[in-house]
Amino acid sequence: MKIKALCIATLAAAVASAAAPKIKPVLTVPHELDCLLKSGHIQGACCSEQGVYLSHQLGIDKIGWDGKLIKHIDAPAHLGDSAYANGKVYGAFVIRDKALRKDGKLGLVRVWDENLNQLKEAWFDEALDGIVVLGDTVYVGVDRWGHKKHPLCCVKRLDLDLNDKGNTDIDLGYEIHYGVQTMGTDGKDLIFGNYGGTSVVSADLKTSRRVAFGCSEGLGLVPKSVAKCDAKVFFKVSAMGGNMQGWRKDPVNNPPRIRLDFFEYTADGKFVNINEPVAKSRK
């Protein structure tokens, strides 16, 4: 009976895998993201039907689902992450300025429309990083403890008018650096990408579970019109060509480029790679 059950489970897994949608990875165009030579790497990401928003140290870049740059805007400082909801893009900043604060760290949440025209902003007395919107709540990661490893992460909640609803400390069951780096949502739960691990967290911030899905440079739930399926599909940002040092070593032949890889978020809570195989180029 055990062997039969194992065979059935194996067959079911194979069928599910075979039925999973395949999506071709999206590659950005060489030299269109050369601003990353100075900013270093992508800090976070989000998406809409129009394309993907990539946030970094010097601003935010909007690319199409074909990987081509649509628009770049400058930002005042470290733009740690971005979130999309209801036609708006939200960004979380840490502003390093000792003239404004002794430790040199202030937080800023800025909101743009889909074309990256600024709509509003709010300032906070804390360094901010990850951000996501779920329902009527904006969740923001707070960098309370810095680089040293720590067992808790701090999350700030705002309403849609950016009014502060207070902070909550969460024990994810493992140690992380800084605050929550990137945030995403499947429409029900929150996904926290940290330097140290990734967790799925309930919207009330009371429960969490760790998952095998590295997404510290950005992730987002792909619109069904783009994924062309009913499954929950996420993209995550992957750097090409070595990131920071690799790009700076030979920016002519190895310019900053980003690859979007795709994963199905399954009913049993796993992220399964659904990238369409890419043929290797012949020399």
Residue type, 278: V
Alpha-carbon separation of residue 28 from 184, 195, 257, 264 (angstroms): 22, 25, 6, 22
pLDDT of residue 100: 61
244 band by pLDDT with thresholds 50, 70 and 90: confident
Mean pLDDT on 83-90: 97
Residue numbers of the domain that contains 42: 30-273
What pLDDT is stored for residue 103 in this prediction?
61
Residue 3 forms part of a structural domain: no
- For residue 194, tell me if it sits in a domain: yes
pLDDT digits (tens, 9 = 90+) for 167-185: 999 999 999 988 899 999 9
Q: Please give the mean pLDDT across all residues of the chain.
A: 89
Q: Which pLDDT tens digit goes with each residue over 191-222? A: 999 989 999 999 999 999 999 999 989 999 99
Q: What is the CATH number for 228? A: 2.120.10.30
Question: How many structural domains does the chain have?
Answer: 1
Query: Is residue 2 predicted with pLDDT exceeding 50?
Result: no
Q: In this structure, is residue 207 part of a structural domain?
A: yes
* Cα(205)–Cα(169) distance, integer angstroms: 9
Residue 4 in domain: no
Report pLDDT digits (tens) over 47-84. Answer: 999 999 999 988 999 999 999 999 999 988 888 999 99
Contacts 24+ apart (CB under 8 A), 166-174: 167/142, 168/205, 170/201, 170/205, 170/208, 172/197, 172/199, 172/201, 172/208, 172/210, 173/199, 173/208, 173/210, 174/210
Residue 5 lies inside a defined structural domain of this protein: no
Select from 234, 198, 240 the least CA-distant residue to 216.
198
- Asked, for residue 260, whether it belongs to a domain, the answer is yes
Widest Cα–Cα separation across the chain: 72
Q: Does residue 141 form part of some domain?
A: yes
Span 240-269, average pLDDT: 94
Q: Is residue 229 part of a domain?
A: yes
pLDDT value of position 104: 59
Residues 5-45: pLDDT tens digits?
444 444 444 444 444 579 999 999 999 999 999 888 899 99
User: How does residue 277 score in pLDDT terms, banded at 50, 70 and 90?
Assistant: confident
Structure confidence at residue 280 (pLDDT) = 60
- What is this structure's pTM? 0.89
